[in-house]
Every structure is written in structure tokens, then in C-alpha cells.
């Protein structure tokens, strides 16, 4: 290094550690490419409507690129947001892919399915960029999950490549007001995870100033007393100093010192998006921001001592040429195939029958294989209740698959509020069966990062209603495969008890399973008995798609639901209903706790009822229902969920279209009315479908 170069890097404050300096030629070129892309989009592509959304990173770009150069670990992972394109370019996103994404072309990171600035970058070696989401703050808990997976892979799976690797959660200052940020911060600091929170503070959340987002407008100052968290602050208008501070932050996380939060002051040199004219800023404010342009400051620090004037101009020219070449290549590439717009909602097979495997995420990518399953139960030993069956299945899958991790509130020493995990932490250790903080956003969000890193997370939501704070993450998980065009998928099993028990209430006793059936990309299981619970849970734990596994509270220890344990190889395929009793006069379709009541009603009705237990609602066995109704010519659907837009309406619509001329009577439903589950047992009994109500409905329908 020359004497002049030494003088440049002597600008950092006293006490700062010296770190290997960036490849400034590469850094500057990447920044200039980012600026050229922004300019092209703002001045040409957006006005011509060749792109529909534009989010500039101008002003944020210098420190993003500097950070990207430091992400060299074999298993590093990054959670990004919509303004992260310079960081993406720095870690390997090609200029063509960057432009193809915003221009909605085939072969881009989403194949035209998602907003162009919502990037991803699957990698089995080198830094992996987790799929970005459109929601503010949605990137934090998945990034924390990746950090926890690094800890797990290093300590439990003994993967040497995970040692010293880190996760990065990248966001703007306004996102520090979200529950995702605070949940991730809690997880990272209590677990001492290897993660860097890189917060870019440009002073605004769209038009709202930062002191409306954070008291005093400085999240770093407010977190100064947060335990197990190192705070570093930098200013992108001092880019060489910022480079050293970034290197210091990354080195600290790699050294195992725990999480670091870095607040980086950046100017927002353009509006929030291409449509934002910044009329809420005064001319003086805009002028002051432009005076702090990090690229201008970087040029002043590097030219001529580190990069000559001629070389800088050559880098500018090369950046423009690279962007123009990318534009020509993208404009010559095809638009997305509309015939494929519904593909990759779930895992699919290729024409040769092999799995069309996603590039990142899940057990199959990790090379996990399973013993062959059997759909024939072995019926070993005495009848056991459903909660014991679930626990025994979890125990077996934990034993044969070291990538299975079970977690949630109270699942560890307590063994779960429903006792489904009792004794599992003692047997498998607190790394594999562990308690979490009270945040469903954190429970589900961290599952994303774990699944993308090749683990099989089994998060528990204590009660169905408690899933509501995690709905954004649940929706993002379900759409991940589709919106990344099969580049990423996050297979997991979310265990979720719910439904009525001895009493009800609006908080612990809801079912509302239809919400997850309507959610794109989720498989949904709702077993009625212990045997099916074993087979469906095992099938879900070995699947390549995310699953909601609904455990009905009334059936966990219900006598009717008890069955002999069907064996460690027993599986139930999704989408295959179970015929509980054949009949000729009327078809009854049900699932979950209502199946028991339907069976009793069928016995008491005196009608020759054919009873189908759907077992899974996504997918559901359309063919079995249609075949039965075409035979009996009558159908009654019974479910605990509310009447309006319950899943029974979907079945009814299918029958009305596919079997209309086979019906001799209207399709009927017996359901909860459109009220929450009441607490008083008296009130509960008045609204939950009873054996008597179902019996009456069977008799009336059969008599038409």
C-alpha cells in the first residue's frame, strides 16, 4: 500500500481497529453500476412503463456495497428489503438479473411474479440472500432464524463450514418500529446469535420523519442499554471511516461476540419510490442531503491518491457500458410464460417423475433421505390418546433426523401446555427442543431462516388464535415458492392446537381453519383421531412444502379419538379422505372434532349414511366426495368453523358445479353460526354442532 493510501485510511477515529481495506476499484464500479441503473429506470424505463415500480438506493449505495464486500463466509445469509439492490450487486447479483427483475422478464429472480426490487439469491456455497418481502420489517426474524441455524449447524450438526459465518438483517430506520424488528432483537440478544443488524437511517419513513418512528429519532441511542448487544454508529458521508466501522462490526460477529447493531446515517437523495416527489421536504433539506452524497465524499477521499482521475472516469464509462449491455440483453429476453402463472404453488414433479426441486431450502436439498413409509397401520399395543400419538411421532422423527427442531412457548421443560412435547427436551437436548420468547412473529419468522438453511422446523403455536400476530410471516412462507419461481421454499410443520374443549372462549377455542386453506402454498391437516394424527404428522415432517397441522383440543385426550399406535413407518398421504362407514342414502363430509359427532349421529339417525373424514383440507379429496355424492345423491357437510365462507362452502360450490345433475336434494351444512366460540358451556353447547342437530339434519335431508 502506498504512503498516500495509508494517509487516506488514517482518517478513521482514534481507537478504531485497522482492518483489511476494500477493493476500491470493485467498490466504486459496483456503486456506479447501481447509480446508472437508478438513472436508467428513473429517466427512461419508468416513464416508458417498461418498469412499474422503482425504488432508488441512491445515497444508501456506498455503505451497502462496502458491507457486501465483507460477506465472504461459506454460509453467510442476508435478510434484505426493497432498497437493498446495491448490496445484492455487491454479493453477486448480475446487472442483467437486476434489470430483468425490475423489467419483469422471464428467468429473473421471480420470473415476473414479484415487484422487481424484491430480490433473492439462492446459494449452497457463499452468501445466500433470503427472499425479500414487500412487508416492512418482514426480513428481520427470518434473518435471525438463519443465524440460529448457523449456531445449530456448527454445534449440533458439526458442520465446519458454519463456524465463523454470520447473518445480516438489513433494513431502514422506519422498520425499527415494527414487531418483526423487536422480536428479532429479542431472539438475537437472548440467544447470543451471530447476526449484524444493519440499519440505514435516512431520517424518513416515506414522508414521516424518524422522530415519529423512534423516540429521539435514533434507534442506536435508545438501544444503548440493551443487554448482549453491541452498538456501532457510522456516517456514510465519511465513507472510509464507515468502511472500517463496517469491517469492525462484521469481525465482531464472526468472532462470536454476539449480535451487533449498526446504525448508518445515509441521505435519501431521491423519493421513497419513483412516484414520490418529496414535496414534504423543504428546498434547504433537499440541498443539505445532496451535500452529503456518499459517492461525492468517496470520490473526494479516493481521487487522486487511491484511484486516479482517469481511472475513475474509466470506471464510470464501464458502469454505463455494463448497464447498457444488460439492458440490451434483457430487452431481447422473453416475457414470462402466462401458461406457467399457476405453477410452483406447491412442490411439483418434472415430466420424468422426479421432483422439480427448489434451489434453496428444505430437507431434500440437504440430502436427507427417509425410510420407506407404509399406508397400512400396524396397530401396535393398546389404544393411546392423540396427544401421546403426536408426542411419539415427534420423538421418532427427532431420533432419525437430526435436522428436526421443535420449539415454541413452553415446549421445553414444561413439555407444552397440552403436553405434546413432554420429555422431549430431556431426551434430545435444549438445542433441538427449546422454548421461545412470547412472540408468534418470532416463532414463525425464525422458522423461515431455519427452513431455508436445510432444517425442518416444527414451531408450535399454543392456540389457533395466537397465530394472528404471525399472519404476515405465514403468508410470506406460503407464497415463497411461487413468488421466487421455485428458487426458494421453506418446508416446515406448524403445530397449532385449537377448537372447543370443556368450554370455549374467543381466544383459545377458535378453529377458523379455512384461513389457512385460503392462504396460498400451505398444506393443511386436521386429523380426528390418534392414528391419522401419526400418519399425517409423519407425512408432513418429511414433505417438501409447509404444513399447518391442526390439533383439536377436544380430541387430544378424547376417548373416541384413541387408537393403537400404527407404527413408526405409518404415513397418511395428504388429499386422501377416509371412509368411516359406507352408505347409500346420504353422504356426510366432515373433519376434526365433528367426525366423532357425525359418526354418532349416523348411528342414531336410522339413515344409511356414508361418512367421509377428509383428514386434510389442502389438498382435499374432491374425487372421493364427488364419487360418494354421485352414489348417494345427497350431501351434508358438518364443520365447527363459522358458516359464512367456511370450507363447507368450497365443497358445496364444487358439488354444485361437478355433480349438479346427480343431486336429488339441496346440499346442506351444519356449522357454527357466525359468532366466536362462547366461554359458558351452556352457550358453547348452543352453537357448536351437536349430535342432535346433525342427526336432525341427516333425517330431514334423507326425507326430501
Q: What are phi and psi of 473, to 5 degrees?
A: -65, -40
Q: 243: closest CA among 63, 123, 77, 89? A: 63
d(CA 115, CA 121): 15
d(CA 498, CA 546): 19
Q: 366: closest CA among 75, 596, 687, 84? A: 75
The gap from C-alpha 68 to its chain's centroid, in whole angstroms, comes to: 23
d(CA 366, CA 490): 13
Q: Which three cell numbers stand for residue 285?
A: 433539506
d(CA 57, CA 38): 7
Please list the active-site residues: 508
565 within 8 A of 380, measured Cβ to Cβ: yes
Q: 449: closest CA among 33, 148, 657? A: 148
Work out the burial of residue 13: count CB atoms within 10 Å of its CB; fewer than 13 is exposed, 13-18 middle, 19 or more buried: exposed
d(CA 380, CA 257): 50
DSSP 8-state class, residue 570: B
Q: Which three cell numbers stand for residue 63?
A: 455503505
Output the DSSP codes for 238-300: SHHHHHHHHHHHHHHHHTT---EEEEEE----S-SSTT---TTS-HHHHHHHHHT-HHHHHHH
Going by their DSSP bridges, the two strands 547-552 and 586-590 should be labelled as unpaired
481 within 8 A of 347, measured Cβ to Cβ: yes
β-partners of residue 525 are 549, 616
Q: What are phi and psi of 422, to 5 degrees?
A: -60, 125
Q: Quick check: helix, strand or coil at residue 642? A: strand
491 within 8 A of 362, measured Cβ to Cβ: yes
Q: Quick check: helix, strand or coil at residue 380? A: strand
Going by their DSSP bridges, the two strands 208-209 and 204-205 should be labelled as antiparallel
Handedness of CA 38, 43, 46, 50 (dihedral sign): negative
Q: Which helix (H) or strand (E) is 61 found in, with range?
A: helix 61-68
Q: What are phi and psi of 435, to 5 degrees?
A: -85, 155
Length of the chain: 704
d(CA 260, CA 253): 7
Q: Quick check: helix, strand or coil at residue 677? A: coil
Terminal CA-CA length for the chain: 93
d(CA 595, CA 577): 12
Work out the burial of residue 177: count CB atoms within 10 Å of its CB; fewer than 13 is exposed, 13-18 middle, 19 or more buried: middle
d(CA 131, CA 206): 23
Q: Half-sphere exposure (CA, 13 Å, Cβ side) for 347?
A: 23
505 within 8 A of 514, measured Cβ to Cβ: no
Amino acid at each position: 500500500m502506498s504512503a498516500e493510501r495509508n494517509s487516506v485510511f488514517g482518517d478513521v477515529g482514534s481507537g478504531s481497529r485497522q482492518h483489511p481495506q476494500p477493493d476500491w476499484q470493485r467498490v466504486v464500479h459496483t456503486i456506479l453500476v447501481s447509480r446508472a441503473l437508478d438513472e436508467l429506470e428513473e429517466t427512461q424505463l419508468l416513464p416508458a412503463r417498461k418498469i412499474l415500480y422503482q425504488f432508488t438506493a441512491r445515497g444508501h449505495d456506498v455503505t451497502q456495497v462496502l458491507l457486501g464486500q465483507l460477506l465472504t463466509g461459506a454460509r453467510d445469509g442476508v435478510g434484505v428489503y426493497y432498497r437493498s439492490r446495491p448490496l445484492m450487486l455487491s454479493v453477486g447479483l448480475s446487472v442483467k438479473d437486476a434489470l430483468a427483475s425490475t423489467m419483469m422478464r422471464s428467468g429473473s429472480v421471480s420470473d415476473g411474479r414479484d415487484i422487481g426490487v424484491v430480490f433473492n439469491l439462492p446459494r449452497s456455497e457463499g452468501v445466500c440472500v433470503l427472499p425479500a418481502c414487500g412487508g416492512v420489517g418482514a426480513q428481520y426474524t427470518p434473518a435471525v432464524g438463519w443465524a440460529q441455524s448457523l449456531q445449530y449447524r456448527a454445534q449440533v450438526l458439526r458442520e465446519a463450514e458454519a463456524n465463523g459465518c454470520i447473518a445480516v438483517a438489513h433494513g431502514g430506520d422506519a422498520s425499527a418500529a415494527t414487531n418483526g424488528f423487536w422480536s428479532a432483537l429479542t431472539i438475537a440478544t437472548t440467544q447470543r446469535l451471530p447476526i449484524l443488524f444493519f440499519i440505514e437511517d435516512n431520517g424518513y419513513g416515506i414522508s414521516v420523519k424518524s422522530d415519529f418512528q423512534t423516540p429521539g429519532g435514533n434507534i442506536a441511542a435508545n438501544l444503548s442499554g440493551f443487554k448482549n448487544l453491541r452498538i456501532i454508529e457510522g456516517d456514510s458521508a465519511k465513507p472510509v471511516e464507515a468502511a472500517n466501522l463496517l469491517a469492525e462490526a462484521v469481525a465482531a460477529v464472526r468472532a462470536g461476540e454476539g449480535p451487533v447493531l449498526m446504525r448508518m446515517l445515509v441521505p435519501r437523495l431521491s423519493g421513497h419510490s419513483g412516484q414520490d416527489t418529496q414535496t414534504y421536504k423543504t428546498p434547504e433539506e433537499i440541498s443539505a442531503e445532496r451535500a452529503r452524497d456518499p459517492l461525492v465524499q468517496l470520490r473526494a477521499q479516493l481521487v487522486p491518491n487511491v484511484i486516479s482521475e482517469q481511472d475513475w472516469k474509466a470506471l464510470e464509462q464501464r458502469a454505463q457500458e455494463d448497464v447498457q449491455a444488460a439492458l440490451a440483453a434483457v430487452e431481447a429476453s422473453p416475457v414470462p410464460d402466462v401458461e406457467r402463472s399457476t405453477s410452483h404453488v406447491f412442490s411439483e414433479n418434472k415430466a420424468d417423475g422426479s421432483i422439480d426441486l427448489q434451489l434453496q431450502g428444505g430437507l431434500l436439498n440437504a440430502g436427507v433421505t427417509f425410510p420407506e413409509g407404509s399406508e397400512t397401520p400396524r396397530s401396535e399395543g393398546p389404544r393411546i390418546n392423540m396427544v401421546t400419538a403426536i408426542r411419539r411421532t415427534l420423538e421418532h422423527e427427532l431420533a432419525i433426523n437430526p435436522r428436526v427442531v421443535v420449539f415454541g412457548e413452553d415446549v421445553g421443560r414444561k413439555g407444552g401446555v397440552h403436553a405434546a412435547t413432554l420429555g422431549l427436551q430431556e431426551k434430545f437436548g435444549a438445542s433441538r427442543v427449546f422454548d421461545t420468547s412470547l412472540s408468534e412473529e418470532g416463532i414463525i419468522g425464525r422458522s423461515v431462516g431455519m427452513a431455508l438453511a436445510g432444517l425442518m422446523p416444527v414451531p408450535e403455536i399454543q392456540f389457533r388464535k395466537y397465530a394472528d400476530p404471525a399472519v404476515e410471516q405465514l403468508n410470506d412462507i406460503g407464497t415463497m415458492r411461487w413468488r421466487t419461481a421455485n428458487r426458494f421454499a421453506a418446508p416446515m410443520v406448524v403445530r397449532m392446537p385449537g377448537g372447543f374443549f370443556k368450554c370455549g372462549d374467543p381466544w383459545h377455542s377458535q378453529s377458523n381453519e379455512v384461513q389457512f386453506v385460503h392462504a396460498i402454498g400451505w398444506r393443511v391437516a386436521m386429523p380426528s383421531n390418534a392414528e391419522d394424527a401419526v400418519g399425517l404428522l409423519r407425512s408432513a415432517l418429511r414433505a417438501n412444502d409447509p404444513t399447518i397441522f391442526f390439533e383439536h383440543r377436544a380430541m387430544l385426550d378424547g376417548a373416541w379419538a384413541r387408537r393403537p399406535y400404527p407404527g413408526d413407518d405409518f404415513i397418511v398421504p395428504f388429499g386422501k379422505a377416509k371412509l368411516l362407514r359406507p352408505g347409500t342414502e346420504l353422504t356426510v363430509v366432515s373433519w376434526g372434532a365433528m367426525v366423532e359427532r357425525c359418526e354418532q349421529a349416523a348411528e342414531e339417525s336410522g339413515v344409511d349414511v356414508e361418512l367421509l373424514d377428509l383428514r386434510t383440507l389442502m389438498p382435499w379429496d374432491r374425487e372421493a366426495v364427488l364419487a360418494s355424492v354421485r352414489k348417494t345423491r345427497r350431501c351434508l357437510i358438518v364443520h365447527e368453523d363459522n358458516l359464512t365462507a367456511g370450507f363447507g362452502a368450497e365443497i358445496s360450490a364444487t358439488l354444485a358445479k361437478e355433480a349438479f345433475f346427480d343431486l336429488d336434494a339441496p346440499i346442506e351444512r351444519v356449522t357454527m353460526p357466525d359468532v366466536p366460540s362462547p366461554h359458558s358451556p351452556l352457550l358453547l353447547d348452543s352453537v357448536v354442532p351437536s349430535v342432535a342437530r346433525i342427526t336432525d339434519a341427516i333425517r330431514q335431508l334423507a326425507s326430501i
